[in-house]
């Protein structure tokens, strides 16, 4: 981090925590994400390794729209508050995939924004339950030793 940026943060009383993707050594989140994307690329390429730039967007789409075990939500929905839909020009649209009218879409977006807080609370609860499950699983295998 640059000195000018540090002065800016101090001047306005901003506290910066180093658990951002810029600092992967602090939480390992970037490495985990990259590992999953590389696994997807390896599985989809098999013998055509030179075609990886063409498949990268598909793997990123799959990663962003797959529900995570810990949260029960997609990373896209947690970031933007609604599920991602693929653009109709990418696939041949069917009757069920046609976009609603602008008014209908606006109403649905307002509804999903109203439910966003509830969704985040449910996600927090799922994360806590998942962490408790991991702790109990770890504690079953751990052996207590006295020194």
Tokens 């000195």 locate to: 3
Torsions phi, psi of 110, nearest 5?
-65, -40
| 127 SS3 class | helix
Do the Cβ atoms of 70 and 128 come closer than 8 Å? Answer: no
Tens of pLDDT along the chain (147 residues) come to 578 888 888 888 887 765 555 555 556 777 777 888 888 888 887 777 777 787 888 888 888 888 887 778 887 777 777 777 766 555 554 444 455 677 777 787 777 777 778 888 888 898 899 999 889 888 888 887 887
What are the residue ranges spanned by the domains of the chain?
A: 3-141
pLDDT value for 98: 55
C-alpha 7/C-alpha 102 separation (Å) is 46
pLDDT value for 95: 45
pLDDT value for 142: 81
């Amino acid at each position: 981090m640059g000195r000018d940026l540090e002065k800016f943060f101090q001047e306005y009383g901003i506290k910066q925590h180093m658990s951002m993707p810029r600092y992967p050594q602090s939480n390992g989140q970037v490495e985990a994400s990259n590992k999953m994307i590389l696994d997807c690329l390896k599985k989809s390429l098999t013998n055509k390794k030179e075609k990886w730039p063409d498949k990268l967007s598909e793997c990123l789409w799959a990663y962003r729209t797959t529900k995570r075990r810990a949260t029960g939500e997609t990373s896209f929905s947690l970031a933007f508050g609604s599920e991602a839909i693929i653009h109709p020009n990418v696939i041949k649209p069917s009757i069920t995939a046609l976009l609603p009218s602008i008014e209908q879409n606006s109403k649905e977006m307002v509804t999903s924004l109203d439910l966003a807080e509830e969704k985040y609370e449910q996600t927090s609860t799922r994360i806590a339950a998942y962490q408790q499950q991991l702790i109990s699983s770890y504690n079953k295998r751990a052996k207590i030793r006295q020194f």
